[in-house]
A and B are shown apart, each in its own frame.
Chain A
């Protein structure tokens, strides 16, 4: 973490728990840069997270009010706090398993209600903390500790899901696109209503080592190759788009 962002971290916290090569540390820095660039008053920011690796991005690191909740339930906890005190800038940061599998129903309903939350989903396409089990975001064929012969189910396209449910701002970028991530988080926070930012975050330990991406560099490189912008995707055929991840802003809302 860059030293100029130290003021946003609790002084008691000396290290992060993330594995070598994990994208969550990068996302952590990008999120704080967005907070810094918006000059948010940390006394008025509430970070809410569920359970899992990504839930540890704000808790205990961020020097603001942080609420580390139950698996899948970050959004309803945040809903209660935000509705009772609308002055709080309420940012939910959690993982794909947490927000979209066990917490999937809360996600679509919060988007439908257009509650003024910014939800940042750190998507590593697997259950990291519990030992690399398949997630609702794992790609078809992915090898995980519960799909040793390859995942047979299609992954959610989270941005399409949340867009359909009525979110005011929806974007997807990878931690390999740091400036875009910062910009999207800033737009999400500035959007009045429900904002959803999916951030692709590599998991070399649980995902990479099972899927022939044995080093942090390999999984980052793979992510880099896979990601394609909305504009580039527009001229490609469905076959060419197979295995690619479209990044960009899908709903602009009132930002």
Chain B
């Protein structure tokens, strides 16, 4: 895979950005040159900033008529050779689901930023939530894999969007930055470094664009207009894109490879961060996104009180950190999962943990306060 180091387009230095501004700058730094979007709170600042930045040259911006048009045009642009993205929030994300499945099935690199708000329905448009975790993975029909990053700071909004673009290109999958409204609208210091590591798509003229015998299972990806006479379809297809909808073997082989090309690399994709992971813990918090900030405060307070607690932060949500959770659960009596939803990640933790899993669910449109987590943990430990 072709990773190369390039100079940062944005002048390096310290900045005071919102999460949404940082994600826009990170996308441009990662090589994003096509953006299509539709206004929706609380993600709109991403589109607004990119529209201004692209006006000064270097990228194509379009405000589409809806979210379906946005993501479909992003897929079209990706096949025309662009690193392409869109950003949205709950209801818009729901509208994009069919096309996300199409992108997964046609192995189109795209990046989607979802600044999550409180749902379902229109819900609380301006309030925080983390209710889109399962939708990211299971929102479209059929079996497919995606990669989803979960930032907890403005710095990570910048860093993770770059990772999202690189992994989309590397694995030819839809790749997500799944942030909470609280991170999107958070303002804090970030550091923009002098260089950025970017990944370019592999091209091999004449090679099959939808299958490969090579280890890793990720075929090269040409673009329209390069003379490859590409045949791209969302129907079941063979290595060269011909529809083979009646052949059970072709379908099974394709779905299986799309699954394996991500799952066989999950040790390289899955990113977690551990705190106080001693051998023998009274309790362990598994947390992600903005909630992890509150959780870390509570864990640090309990540690200073002499309570043996640890924390694991999921920096990626999909593919899920199954092996890490299974391993770390052997070292604790209980796992505590606080979430701004009714237990979407807790369910995954329960699948793999060999200890008791206790949840705390808050869906009132407010962030989970550090003292709330502290009280809950004192109660259960």
Alpha-carbon gap, A48 to B233, bound state (A): 10
A46 within 8 A of B: yes
Interface string of A30-69 (1 = CB under 8 A from B): 0000000000001110101000000000011001111111
Complex interface: chain B residues within 8 A of A76 (CB): 36, 64, 68-70, 72-73, 76
Within 8 Å by CB of B62, from A42, A81, A83, lies: A83
B235 within 8 A of A: yes
Q: Which residue of B lies closest to A66 (CB)?
A: B231
**B154-178: which residues lie under 8 A (CB-CB) from chain A?**
none
* Interface footprint category on B: 35 or more
Q: With A77-B76, A80-B77, A83-B73 given, is the CB distance from A64 to B234 under 8 Å?
A: no
Q: With A73-B68, A79-B76 given, is the CB distance from A67 to B99 under 8 Å?
A: no
Q: With A76-B64, A84-B81 given, is the CB distance from A69 to B72 under 8 Å?
A: yes
Complex interface: chain B residues within 8 A of A63 (CB): 229
Cβ-defined contact, B225 with A77, below 8 A? no
Q: Which residue of B lies closest to A73 (CB)?
A: B72
B75 within 8 A of A: yes
Complex interface: chain B residues within 8 A of A65 (CB): 224-225, 228-230, 232
Within 8 Å by CB of B81, from A79, A85, A105, lies: A85
Q: Which residue of B lies closest to A48 (CB)?
A: B76
A242 within 8 A of B: no
Alpha-carbon gap, A109 to B233, bound state (A): 24
> How many CB-defined contacts (below 8 Å) exist between A and B?
128
A210 within 8 A of B: no
A70 within 8 A of B: yes
Distance in Å: Cβ of B323 to nearest Cβ of chain A? 35
Distance in Å: Cβ of A55 to nearest Cβ of chain B? 10
Distance in Å: Cβ of B44 to nearest Cβ of chain A? 19
Alpha-carbon gap, A77 to B76, bound state (A): 4
**B323-366: which residues lie under 8 A (CB-CB) from chain A?**
none
Complex interface: chain B residues within 8 A of A79 (CB): 62, 64, 69, 73, 76
Q: Which residue of A lies closest to B238 (CB)?
A: A12
Complex interface: chain B residues within 8 A of A10 (CB): 229, 231
Distance in Å: Cβ of A38 to nearest Cβ of chain B? 17
Distance in Å: Cβ of A98 to nearest Cβ of chain B? 13
Cβ-defined contact, A60 with B242, below 8 A? yes
Residue of A44, A48, A80 with most partner-chain B CB within 10 A = A80
Alpha-carbon gap, A1 to B60, bound state (A): 39
Alpha-carbon gap, A36 to B242, bound state (A): 24
Alpha-carbon gap, A77 to B68, bound state (A): 10
Alpha-carbon gap, A109 to B225, bound state (A): 25
A106 within 8 A of B: yes
Number of chain A residues close to chain B: CB under 8 A: 34
Cβ-defined contact, B79 with A69, below 8 A? no
B66 within 8 A of A: yes
Within 8 Å by CB of A70, from B77, B98, B242, lies: B98
A88 within 8 A of B: yes
Cβ-defined contact, B231 with A80, below 8 A? no
Q: With A10-B231, A65-B230 given, is the CB distance from A84 to B33 under 8 Å?
A: yes
Q: Which residue of B lies closest to A44 (CB)?
A: B225
Alpha-carbon gap, A66 to B230, bound state (A): 6
B267 within 8 A of A: no
Residue of B76, B80, B84, B99 with most partner-chain A CB within 10 A = B76
Cβ-defined contact, B231 with A77, below 8 A? no
A78 within 8 A of B: yes
B17 within 8 A of A: no
Q: Which residue of A lies closest to B73 (CB)?
A: A80
Within 8 Å by CB of B66, from A42, A80, A81, A105, lies: A105
Alpha-carbon gap, A80 to B232, bound state (A): 15
Complex interface: chain B residues within 8 A of A46 (CB): 80, 224-225
Distance in Å: Cβ of B243 to nearest Cβ of chain A? 6
B227 within 8 A of A: yes
Cβ-defined contact, A84 with B60, below 8 A? yes
A87 within 8 A of B: yes
Distance in Å: Cβ of A104 to nearest Cβ of chain B? 11
Q: With A73-B68, A77-B75, A109-B69 given, is the CB distance from A84 to B228 under 8 Å?
A: no
Q: Which residue of A lies closest to B70 (CB)?
A: A76
Listed by A's residue number, 24 A-B pairs whose Cβ atoms lie within 8 Å are: A10-B229, A44-B225, A46-B224, A60-B243, A65-B225, A65-B228, A67-B76, A67-B79, A68-B235, A70-B98, A76-B36, A77-B72, A77-B73, A80-B72, A80-B76, A80-B80, A81-B77, A83-B34, A83-B60, A83-B62, A85-B225, A87-B225, A88-B225, A105-B69
